[in-house]
């Protein structure tokens, strides 16, 4: 049987952010972390198999980003105050 220090089940965007924060904060104490999901991809609501044409968040540019991963409008072809398309979140 495999041993994991942390097992995360069916995580969305914020769960993935927590997983990364755990790894970053572990100072090598966290040896093994695994994220499990029943879908083909991880990401919760924003996983690849749940996206459909026209899907947008209720959040606008710059209100749905992580401190170390900003959603730069130029990079994703977004306009200021535009709602984020599902593909951008994925």
Query: In a 10 Å sphere around its CB, with 0-12 CB exposed, 13-18 middle and 19+ buried, how is residue 22 labelled?
Result: middle
**Pure H helices in the chain:** 13-25, 73-76, 86-89
Burial class from Cβ neighbours inside 10 Å (0-12, 13-18, 19+) for residue 28 reads exposed
pTM: 0.66
Query: pLDDT tens across 7-54, in order?
Result: 999 888 888 888 888 888 876 777 788 999 888 888 888 888 888 999
């Amino acid at each position: 049987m495999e041993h994991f220090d942390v097992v995360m089940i069916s995580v969305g965007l914020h769960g993935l952010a927590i997983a990364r924060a755990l790894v970053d904060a572990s100072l090598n104490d966290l040896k093994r972390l695994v994220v499990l999901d029943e879908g083909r991809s991880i990401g919760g609501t924003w996983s690849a198999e749940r996206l459909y044409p026209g899907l947008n968040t209720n959040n606008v540019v710059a209100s749905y980003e992580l401190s170390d991963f900003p959603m730069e409008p130029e990079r994703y072809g977004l306009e200021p105050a535009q709602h984020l398309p599902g593909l951008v979140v994925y």
